């Protein structure tokens, strides 16, 4: 098992995790399995290839990923620098790196698709990191990627729901 620092953000290669923009993996998360990070990167890139990267900062901040970002100095600095960056590629690379780390942590902690059983030590580390947050209903970043209709646009679903008066009128007809 190689460290997550051996994975690339650049499209096409799976051997290193460094972008041309000089973004590297935060040292606190080098324990994440590279194989999992490659899979998470593919999920994140395919999602944003279809919808664009403009929604990625909002997805990070509206999910509970912001708790992870705020509690880790390196991720917080990476997010801050990406938010201020004038170079879209550099900003997207940084946001994508943060998303890969968060989705990898969530996948391990939830034992999604058996990743936690496959890497029990890293699962415990991910649970330790995610367990430090208050117990409440979490908005998982990985759910926003796997189930997008339930993710970032959930607040708009109520606007499309029929009103109670309209339902009663239909039932009377």
Q: Which of 10-14, 33-37, 91-95, 133-137 has the lowest mean pLDDT?
A: 10-14
Q: For residue 64, what pLDDT is reported?
A: 84
pLDDT tens-place string over residues 104-132: 999 999 999 999 999 999 999 999 888 76
Average the pLDDT over 36-54 and give the result: 94
Average the pLDDT over 56-75 and give the result: 91
**Residue 85 φ/ψ, nearest 5 degrees:** -65, 140
Residue 136 has what DSSP assignment?
S
Q: For residue 96, what pLDDT is reported?
A: 97
Sign of the Cα pseudo-torsion (45, 28, 104, 55, in order)? negative
Residue 95 vs residue 16, higher pLDDT:
95
Q: Whole-model pTM?
A: 0.74
The answer to whether residue 9 scores a pLDDT higher than 70 is: no
């Amino acid at each position: 098992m190689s460290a997550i620092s051996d994975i690339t953000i650049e499209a096409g290669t799976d051997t290193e995790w460094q972008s041309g923009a000089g973004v590297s993996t935060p040292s606190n998360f080098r324990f994440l399995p590279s194989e999992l990070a490659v899979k998470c990167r593919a999920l994140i890139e395919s999602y944003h290839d279809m919808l664009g990267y403009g929604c990625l900062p909002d997805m990070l901040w509206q999910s509970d990923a912001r708790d992870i970002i705020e509690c880790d100095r390196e991720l917080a600095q990476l997010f801050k620098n990406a938010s201020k960056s004038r170079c879209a590629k550099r900003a997207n690379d940084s946001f994508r790196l943060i998303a890969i780390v968060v989705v990898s942590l969530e996948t391990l902690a939830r034992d999604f698709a058996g990743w936690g059983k496959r890497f029990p030590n890293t699962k415990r580390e991910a649970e330790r990191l995610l367990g430090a947050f208050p117990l409440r209903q979490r908005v998982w970043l990985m759910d926003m990627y796997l189930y997008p209709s339930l993710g970032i646009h959930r607040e708009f679903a109520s606007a499309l729901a029929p009103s109670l008066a309209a339902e009663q009128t239909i039932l009377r007809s």
